[in-house]
Amino acid sequence: MTSVAPATVADPVETKEFRDVEARLRERFPAAVLDVERAFGEVDFTVRAADLLSVARFLRDEPGLEFVHLADLTAVDRSALPPRQRKPGDKRFAGIYHLFSFSGRRRIRLTVPAEGPDSKPTIPSLYPLWRSAFCMEREAYDLMGIHYEGHPDLRRIMMPWDWVGHPLRKDEPLGGEEVPFSMTWNDPEFATLGKQIMDPPPTKAPLPKGVDPTQHMVLNLGPHHPATHGVLRIALELDGERIVSAHPDTGYLHSGFEKQGEHVRYKDFVPYTDRMDYTSAMCNNLGYCLAVEKLLGVEIPPRAQAIRVVVAELQRIAAHLIWLATHILDTSGTGMSLLMYALREREMILDIFEMICGARMTVSYVRIGGVWKDVPPAFVPKVEEFCDLFLRRLDEYERMLSRSVVLRKRLEGIGVLSKEDAISLGVTGPLLRGSGVYYDLRKLAPYSGYDRYEFDVPLSNRGDSWGRYEVRMQEMRQSIRIIRQALEDVKRTEGEPCKTTDRKVALPPRDELDTSMEALIHHFKLVTEGIKPPPGEVYFGHENPKGELGFYIVSDGGPKPYRLRVRGPSFVNIFATDTMARGQLLSDLIAIIGSIDIVLGEVDR
């Protein structure tokens, strides 16, 4: 267990401009780089599809660049973009790749126009370079219909396996599925009503590639299973109780958040983010709002920033408490004591949330341009009281758990993820830090004023479930540290606004409406039209309790996002299960799922 607190490095302007990356790319691949765009502090290289693999390998391996982390992989259907954002000769589909460099602390985007006809746009697979491409390419294939050449097992991942079409394409309507039920007695459908429950048509989902039911026992763990934390199915190949391979099967809770995001206005998507990872709603709100704010380029007043940090860190503790409760419950079975204890503390956090916004789980408290409302006066003493109490309780838990021989035996050496594997699998959050990789976006790409607060990033070089346990326990302590500092800022800025004064983004205060015509107009415009950010695209990744939650937004200048991509940490993390579980026992798989800490709402989105 090591904690590292490196000095914050001020990035020189040149590297932020990515001139060196551009120069080296152009030198090495003169024909591959089609275009370079700089906007919103990000850089976008348009790369020819045929050269993608070699360009990506160069970016990953070249000293000085070292973009080793494939943060996000998705695709965009550009067919409905307004003409001013389209260049002549643009292909309809483009693969979007976000690469992050740990050493340079910077992120670049690759845009790769897909070759081939609309029915089968093709891009080479990045699976040979990053194993995280496995799940993300499958997702892009499923939702956008991009064919990744060289992908080992390109199957649907979100939609049912027998679904026809690709929902995120612009020509696919929202909803649009006919309900085949009618109320006439002559309808054959009606005659069989009720019977279909007893005798469903036999459907058999195809087995994952490489699973051999004649050699090994195939066990369907889930989608209804006590330890899969929701509707996750894992197709397990077992030899006795030893796991030969584990194939997570997601999508049972797929609600099409990305598709819906294209049909609601920017501010209306905030409640959707609550419902993704419902254990960390505040953090999701924050991540989404920061992404939109990046697009808008608005300044957030210091008070709002401090409040955001406090609630986000409280939420992080609440999320980790849920993890602790369920993880211990999973490994220890009927001994629910810790579940109850952890929920008792979480209850205090939820009470605080209820106090500031009326909701406990789906808060929608952080809004674009600030926070919904200023905190009530009781907020600060309540949070202080919680901090004091919680540290004592945390000591209690550590006494109870950290020295428990049985628990150690259940977690130590279980689900080992080496540093290289972790990076290749694209896992983030405590999972990555548990493997000893220093990757915490609060430090590497500070937002909301995290750079002003002092805190350590707990790391563990063990790489096993115990390491992740230790990391999360320490993170809760660090969160308390951050909360205490941010709370001082909240106290200091008492009375200051907690919303941006940009009237194009946030509603004017109520009393202004009575006196100012201008305020009334702004109010009217905002309510009827919504926020209209400038055209362009941004990616914003922030540190969720589970890992990197990224929002990639393409704006066409309208009030609704043109494309809204959510990079869920749980989604990528859960696909590390196979690597972690191979050769271990069935019981270990439960510990592994617990130590990954997933929320299916966000895996499936």
Partner 1 sequence: MNWIEVFLIPFIKSLVLILALLTGFAYMTYYERKVLARFHVRYGPNRAGPFGLLQPVADAIKAIFKEEIIPAHVDKWVYLAAPVLALIPALIAFAVIPIGPDLNLFGRQVSLYIADVNIGFLYVLAVASVGTYGVILAGWSSNNNYSLLGALRTAAQMVSYELPLGIILVAVVLTTSLATGEGSLSLVGLVQQERPWWVWLWLWVAFPIFFICMLAETNRSPFDLPETENELVAGFQTEYGGIKFALFFMAEYIHMITASAIMATVFFGGWQGPFVDRWPALGILYFVVKVILVLFLFLWVRASVPRVRYDQLMHFCWKFLFPVSLVYLAITAVLVALL
The residues of the shown chain that bind partner 1, judged by CB under 8 A, are: 217, 219, 225-227, 241, 328-337, 339-341, 344, 404, 406-407, 409-410, 585-590
As a whole number of angstroms, the distance between CA 225 and CA 221 comes to 6
Rounding to the nearest 10 degrees, give the CA dihedral for residues 35, 38, 39, 45.
50
Taking the complex as a whole, how short is the minimal distance between the CB of residue 572 and partner 1, in angstroms? 24
**Going by DSSP bridges, is the β-strand pair 547-555/536-544 parallel, antiparallel, or unpaired?**
antiparallel
Q: How far is the CB of 409 from partner 1 (least distance, A)?
A: 6
Using the minimum distance from each CB to partner 1, give the nearer residue, 248 or 508.
Answer: 248
Q: How far is the CB of 407 from partner 1 (least distance, A)?
A: 5
Strands 106-113 and 42-47: parallel
CB of 412 vs partner 1, minimal distance in Å: 11
Output the CA–CA distances (angstroms, integers) from residue 268 to 263, 492, 550, in the order listed.
Answer: 10, 32, 18
CB of 120 or CB of 409, closer to partner 1: 409
381-391 burial code (b ≥16 CB/10 A, e <16): ebbeebbeebe
549 vs 580 by CB, closer to partner 1: 580
CB of 330 to partner 1, least distance (A): 5
> Mutual orientation of helices 302-332 and 379-401 as an angle, nearest 10°?
30
With tokens 């320490």, the residue in question is: 474
Q: Which of 312, 480, 308, 481 is nearest to 386 (CA)?
A: 480
Q: Judge contact between 539 and 445, C-beta under 8 A.
A: no
DSSP state of 8: P
Q: How far apart are CA 595 and CA 575, in angstroms?
A: 13
Structure tokens at 483: 């909360």
Please report how close the Cβ of residue 467 comes to partner 1 at its closest, in angstroms.
Answer: 18
Distance CA 483, CA 224 (A): 38
Q: Say if residue 170 is exposed, middle or buried (CB neighbours under 10 Å; 0-12, 13-18, 19+).
A: middle
What's the longest Cα–Cα distance across the chain?
A: 79
Contact 330, 342 (CB under 8 A): no
Residue in 328, 569, 277, 338 with CA at minimum distance from that of residue 465: 328
Nearer to partner 1, 25 or 329 (CB): 329
Least distance between partner 1 and beta carbon 361 (Å) = 21
Question: Shortest gap between Cβ of 228 and partner 1 (angstroms)?
Answer: 10
Q: Which is nearer to partner 1, 215 or 337 (CB)?
A: 337
| CB closer to partner 1, 224 vs 491 | 224
Task: Using the minimum distance from each CB to partner 1, give the nearer residue, 91 or 408.
Answer: 408
Q: Which residues pair with 108 in a beta bridge?
A: 99
Choice between 270 and 339, CB closer to partner 1: 339
Among positive and negative, which fits the CA dihedral 450, 453, 456, 458? Answer: negative
Q: Which residues contact 365 (CB under 8 A, 6 or more apart)?
A: 282, 285, 311, 353, 356, 357, 359, 371, 372
Shortest CB 404 distance to partner 1, Å: 6
Considering the complex, state which of residue 359 and residue 585 has its C-beta at the smaller distance from partner 1. 585
Least spacing, CB of residue 577 vs partner 1, in Å: 15
Closest CB 584 distance from partner 1, rounded Å = 10
- In sequence order, which residues have a C-beta less than 8 Å from that of residue 42 and are 6 or more positions away? 107, 108, 109, 537, 538, 539
What residues contact residue 189 under an 8 Å CB cut-off, 6+ apart? 180, 181, 182
* CB nearer partner 1, residue 35 or residue 241: 241
Q: Which one-letter amino acid corresponds to residue 333? A: G
- Least distance in Å: CB of 343 to partner 1? 10
CB of 396 to partner 1, least distance (A): 12
Nearer to partner 1, 241 or 451 (CB): 241
Measured from the CB atom, is 568 or 594 closer to partner 1? 594
Q: Which is nearer to partner 1, 426 or 594 (CB)?
A: 594
CB under 8 Å to 545, separation ≥6 — which residues? 277, 279, 280, 283, 315, 316, 319, 320, 323, 429, 597
